[in-house]
Amino acid sequence: MTDPVVGLVLEGRYHLQERLARGGMSTVYAAQDLRLHRTVAVKVMAEHLAHDPTFVDRFTREARAAAMLSHPNVVSVSDQGSDQGLVFLVMELVRGRTLRDLLQARGRLTVAEAFAVLEPVLAGLTAAHRAGIVHRDIKPENVLIGVDGVVKVADFGLARALTGTGQTSHTGGVLIGTVAYLSPEQLERGKADARSDVYAAGVVLYEMLTGHPPYGGDTPLAVAYQHVHHDMPPPSAEVPGIPWQVDELVTRTTRREPAVRPLDAGAFLADLEDVRSDLGVERMPVPTGRSSAGPGTLRPTNRPTRPRPRHPSDPGEPRTQVLGPGGSRPGRGSRTSTLPGMGAGPTTDVGARRPAPPDRPRPGVPEAVRRRRARLAVAVVLLVLVTIGAVGWWLGSGRWTTVPALAGREQAVAVDLLQQAGLDPVVAEERFSEDVPAGVVISADPDGGEAIRGTDVELVVSRGQERFEVGTDLVGLPLDEVRTRLEDVPVVPSEVQDYSDDVPVGHVSGFEPEAGTPLQRGQDLTVYVSRGPAPVAVPALVGLAPEEAAANLEALGFDVARAEGRSADVDTGEVMSVTPATGVKAAYGSTVTITVSVGVPRVVVPDVSGRSQEEAVALLEQAGLVPEFQTFITGDRVYRQEPAAGETVDQGTTVNLLLSFG
């Protein structure tokens, strides 16, 4: 039946061309990105989940979580959206197969092959853990092996930030996850951190080495029970010949108590490298289908070495499962055993001794067998006593531990102390502090005293001093734009008008404290607004040549105007005055007028005829003229004057006066 989604173009950009895979919650298609002309993978949420905000949130969370990561072993996510009733996200297209496909084709891998696959998986998880993200759904289906042998971790749909609550995804009171790979703390408390990914990666390592997960059962709840109550069996119990160091690595990474597992994927990767070095395991290419085991090496096979119960993760089944009250999903075709007396034929106990023929007496039990049975009985009794003692210790004081003092310690140190005490560290909040350096614990809850092992201890970790910066790019911008930009900076700005020779009027010329200085929340910030250049004092120019005076004024930013005048004190052709006057401050760019002397002032000769000598002298000197007297027969009255009264002459001109009797 043709898939109706194939052929659609989402958001006018992604042309869905081929269905690649289908799961319980989504379908993956190969698509052409019409904008960038490249092939991508588009994951489309199942139609029956597209209206459930919880599952839509999971899709959005996957896009955001994966978009935070940039690592060659993590499938990159480039876009997310919804169109035509379809919720989708756009991912890098990896051509190849999943680890599940490889295990179905090969059965199991050699130690070297398993290490070759697991190392890049742990490298990608290390990048996620360092970015504060826990995957929470590590399984073979989410490990992609490209045709070029590059391994990538996919499907961050259940990812959650490590600094959040750490709760495993719930929907309607049920737990979402692939039960065969869920850690005990996820199953018991719904809590997950980087150590939960370590547990799942350890289970994947077991499965690669043996060809199947460690636990099987007819229902997911049966598998979950074994994860919570049983220790992981060593892979060599299934595949003889696996080195004990590999057994110990699987055991260490899948311990039921999170505090005693490696701290994160980076620590797991370091342990893996140590085992590789101890065993001298050579590096080899990632297997993509055909076996690379050499002669004498235990060859992969599609059959497990020993009989095992059915696993929910058998081919065709390993999808994300939902557990809850009455919500377990049965597995495929459960196997049944016929017991005597239940209406079926007799069965043979493969571990029982064949009965002796009826015509021969049954031999007695040898002494060696009786001794072994006696030792076994003693061992059983001792084991029961030790178990009773351990249970009593646990119910008494054993389940209690002391919460260490954590305030003032580095976050990594605090986490180590809590894990050593059997407690679960949770970074509940990261808070700015003026007194506590970044990465140091401010407080913890509970803080000291006793607590039950496995209790969450919430840490408040310092982010250091909260500081804000005013960008240097704001200097020179218009005031209105700077006001808008400062709305995002929690400081208290005030504006001051200031002169500036370089910044236009109405633009910001600077800040106090200077732009780029770290500022505290609520700190005062002075914004200097340019009024243009400062006023300039007019220089002394009288007596200078007009050209020299104009050059001086223009160098100070003034415009120059020229006028002419007469002066008795300044030589002709020189500046006799300036407006505004010398020493007065004038606005930058304003006009200053220089007046150039064209000679002495001109005056009108007063009429002094008939006046006494004294009166004539007073009037002429008042007009700026020089009187000179001639006497015609003795007298004291002006009889005649030259130049005549009313003529205009240069100031300082001599006026000849003729005196006579009146």
Structure tokens at 55: 């599952």
Q: How far is residue 258's CA from residue 196's CA, in Å, rounded to a whole number?
A: 7
Q: Which one is catalytic: 137, 155, 197, 247?
A: 137
Q: How far is residue 617's CA from residue 637's CA, in Å, rounded to a whole number?
A: 12
Q: Dihedrals φ, ψ of 279, to 5°?
A: -85, -10
Give me the half-sphere count of Cα atoms (radius 13 Å) on the Cβ side of residue 276: 17
Can you tell me whether residue 359 is helix, strand or coil? coil
473 is catalytic: no
Q: Dihedrals φ, ψ of 255, to 5°?
A: -65, 145
Q: How far is residue 524's CA from residue 492's CA, in Å, rounded to a whole number?
A: 5
Q: What is the 3-state secondary structure (H, E, C) of 92-103?
A: CCCCEEEHHHHH
Strand partners, 578: 594
Can you tell me whether residue 200 is helix, strand or coil? helix
The residue type of 442 is I
Residue 119 is given by DSSP the state H
Q: How far is residue 29's CA from residue 550's CA, in Å, rounded to a whole number?
A: 80
Beta strands (DSSP E) in 211-360 are 321-323
Tokens 């200031």, located at residue: 498
Q: Dihedrals φ, ψ of 213, to 5°?
A: -65, 165
Q: How far is residue 323's CA from residue 310's CA, in Å, rounded to a whole number?
A: 19
CB of 254 within 8 A of CB of 199?
yes
Active-site residue list? 137
